[in-house]
Amino acid sequence: MQIDPLLHSKADNYRLLTNLVVPRPIAWVTTLSEDGVVNLAPFSFFNAVGSDPIYIVISIGLRDSGGSKDTAKNILERGEFVVNLVTEALFDAMNISAADFPPGISELSAANLHPAPSVRIGAPRVMESEASMECRLHSSQKLGENTLIIGEVVMFHVADPLLGSGRHAENFAPIGRLGSPSAYCRTTDRFSIPRISHEKWSKENGGSK
């Protein structure tokens, strides 16, 4: 079947896209408003896009009313934010923070969470999160109804029990977002297979090609 997005509604296209591009990591973003209110919101249009420098991207849509979301507004005004990662134990709090609270109410408080100070930026992180990344805004770009945020990671916060040999987060198991409207997955079912070299592939397939 071929599906032309031009022949379907924005809602249908969103639903199809988010059911195909799975699983997606969740950026649980803390920002500060001009009035000092801590905003907390989850976004699954999120990923890492570079390691030297360390860049992450988040795409933030509009409110249902058509206005800017607090997260985008705060990032563009202050040039900083924290990406907190969501484990299963924090799912209920994350779900609460996704509600459409008015700008003057902190989702952090509503979800019974606590702020923890960052080191290099003013926006706090979520104390209960096992891993957080302090970010400074590198650049932003309007993409239709979304704002693409590119942030440079300037500090990692990782709970000690997660760090194995070589500074790898071996025991970290965040949840991921699946299809719209409300499907999620765990990351505890894993397998590891070494990447094959061309030399090995050639030997196994009867010579170089």
Where helices occur in 58-130 by DSSP H, the ranges are: 70-78, 91-97, 107-110
| Single-letter code of the amino acid located at 46 | F
Question: 3-class SS at 41?
Answer: strand
pTM of the shown model: 0.93
Per-residue pLDDT of the chain (209 residues; tens, 9 = 90+): 999 999 999 999 999 999 999 999 999 999 999 999 999 999 999 999 999 999 999 999 998 888 899 999 999 999 999 999 999 999 999 999 999 999 889 999 999 999 999 999 999 999 999 999 999 999 999 999 999 999 999 999 999 888 876 667 778 999 999 987 889 999 999 898 999 999 999 988 887 55
| Ranges of each domain in the chain | 5-204
Q: Does domain 5-204 have CATH number 2.30.110.10?
A: yes
* H/E stretch holding 150: strand 146-158
> What value does the CA radius of gyration of the chain take, rounded to a whole number of Å?
19
Where helices occur in the chain by DSSP H, the ranges are: 10-20, 70-78, 91-97, 107-110, 198-204
